[in-house]
Structure 1
Amino acid sequence: MFTPRRSATLLMAAGMLASLPVLAEEPRYNQISLRAEVSKEVARDLMVVTLYTESQNSDPAKLAAEITTTMNKALEQARGVKDIKLEQGSRNSYPIYDNKGQKITGWRERAELRLESSDFPALSKLTGDLLQVLKMGGMDFAIAPTTRKASEDALLKEAVAAFKARAQLATEALGGKSYKVVSMNLNSSGYPHPYARAPMMMKAAMADAGAAPAPEIEAGTSDVSMSADGTIEVQLP
């Protein structure tokens, strides 16, 4: 049970809360949502090649040793070429069963090697040489991270300028004297992911390990865009 003094205190607090004004968000008028987008072609200046070795043997230890020897030889050869980024990909081993699917008759193992470079001629030649001991998994092209950042920085400025130009046009169309930006979002798109596949003819040409060819490379370009989405508030006279 509350004492009279405490009851009086609670009543006073409740009265103070009831007397506070209701805070309401100030309404906004003359707001317009706008979108501006700019784009340009960016060269795919990064070449990515995936090679692999695959074999089978009834003895898993001998099989692992064979795969390791082949990969070590390829890695040693690749390390001798400048400006080539090396990365060992997946390596998997799995059993081979008989026709009834009950007895293991052998083992099969596969290991991958990923090569990456902006020096197309060097990587192309190295790939042709390595195809004497490895097999072609794929040849792909992308935009290098440094190129991507530079293109984003340039497009960002262009997108903001295009948004401001559109905002000024909208302001004039409404008969306004000025505007202010309420919000703006910038987003880039168009970078190929996953990598754009190389033509099948090129893969077939490089698969001729005996000739170890180094075909001409045409990586192409990608359309990269930057959009500016936002809201402005027009100030009317």
Structure 2
Amino acid sequence: MISSGKSICVRAKLAGCVFSVFVGLAVAPVAVMAASHGTGPMGHPESSGGHHGAQYGHHAKTMGGPRLPQASLQAAASSQVAQDTVTVTLSAQLNDVSQQVVNAQLSKALDTAVASAKKQDAVKVYSGNFRVWPFTDEDGKVTRWQGRAELILESKDFPAASELAASLGDQLSITNIAFSVSPESRAKAEEALLEEAAAAFRKRADAFAVAFGFQSYSIKELNLGGAGVEYAPAPRMMAMAADKASVPLEGNTETVTVSVQGTIYLQRENK
């Protein structure tokens, strides 16, 4: 196995964001690869597919000639995307000697909070965990019941979510705040990054073929890393008791990455 031992970093601007393209390289042995079908034109796959992870082409060899050497390449494009969605978790906790009382009071608290929350159109409201459990004495007898219920607020409108969370302070307390990139923003970033990663892969394949004395290449297979995006979410978690003052909300950023991996056939022009 021959390896360049290097990575290439290409920096560019995309939709107001600065991102980097990293390219890795590994080369398979040159003279012993199996082959079965003809190759396509330079830079184009021998067959096509319609989804992430699809593989293209087969082993190939020239008509009556030697088997074609192969090289494995990879490229990735990344960008920092602003977290545009906030998720606020509010909860109520109660305890009583009666399980029925705990259930009833928790349900009432949630119903009241939901009725108030749904007046705010900019915030999505839904129920979280609802749990009631017993406490026992040393003899195993149930002495009381503890319960906890959650209400989730989700919105792209940070001020609206903050004000709503504060207004529910009489019924529920804020136990967690997390930020994320919305599916719409992530999909838009992935689409732009895929074009950049593909361009970096083609450029690297061209340069590699020339550097090792080949005139062209054809693509054997292409794959997108994972599900098409590898990202490291960086949510900011918080826990506090709610009061009438609004909670300051400010998101961070996440790194969205699209990677392309593939294998190419290296070709010399027939004389």
Same fold, judged at TM 0.5 (above): yes
Q: CA deviation at 1:130?
A: 1.3
> Is 1:224 matched up with 2:224?
no
Paired residue for 1:146? Answer: 184
3-state SS in 1 of match to 2:111: helix
Partner of 2:84: 45
Q: Which residue, out of 185, 190, 193, partners 2:231?
A: 190
CA distance 1:146–1:214, shift in 2 (3 Å): same
Q: Distance in 2 between matches of 1:84 and 1:38?
A: 33
Q: Does 1:111 align with 2:149?
A: yes
Larger mean CA deviation between 137-146 and 216-225 belongs to 216-225
Change (3 A) 1:215 1:111: closer
Is contact 1:51-1:134 (8 Å) kept? yes
Q: Quickly say closer, same or farther: Cα 1:231–1:127, change in 2 above 3 A.
A: same
Q: 1:223, CA displacement in angstroms?
A: 1.4
- Residue matched to 1:10: none
Extract structure 1 runs of 4+ deviating beyond 4 A: none
Per-residue CA distance 1:187-237 (angstroms, 9 max, x = gap) = 211152xx6133x4xx44xx251xx22243221101111111111112113
Question: RMSD of the alignment, in Å?
Answer: 1.7
What amino acid is the match of 1:80? Answer: K
Query: Which residue matches 2:17?
Result: none
C-alpha displacement at 1:97, in angstroms? 1.4
Structure number with higher relative contact order (C-alpha < 8 Å, ≥ 6 residues apart): 1
1: distance between equivalents of 2:213 and 2:154?
56
User: Alpha-carbon deviation of 1:83?
Assistant: 2.2
Deviations 1:127-150 (A, max 9, x none): 111122112221001110111111
Q: Which amino acid aligns with 2:81?
A: V
> Helix, strand or coil: the match of 1:219?
coil
Matched position secondary structure for 1:93? strand
Deviations 1:97-151 (A, max 9, x none): 12x1421111111111111111111001111111221122210011101111111
Structure showing greater radius of gyration is 1
Instruction: Write the distance in 1 (CA, Å) between the matches of 2:135 and 2:121.
Output: 40
Q: Distance in 2 between matches of 1:178 and 1:83?
A: 55
Gap runs ≥5 in structure 1? 1-23
Are 2:116 and 1:84 equivalent residues in the alignment?
no
Structure 1: how far apart are the matches of 2:79 and 2:146? 47
Query: Cα offset for 1:25?
Result: 5.0
Percentage of matched positions with identical amino acids: 34
Give the alignment's TM-score, normalised by structure 1: 0.81
1:143–1:191 contact (8 Å) kept in structure 2: no
Unaligned ranges ≥5, structure 2: 1-33, 37-60, 62-66
* 1:88 and 1:114 in contact (8 A); partners too: yes
C-alpha separation between the residues in 2 aligned to 1:233 and 1:67? 65
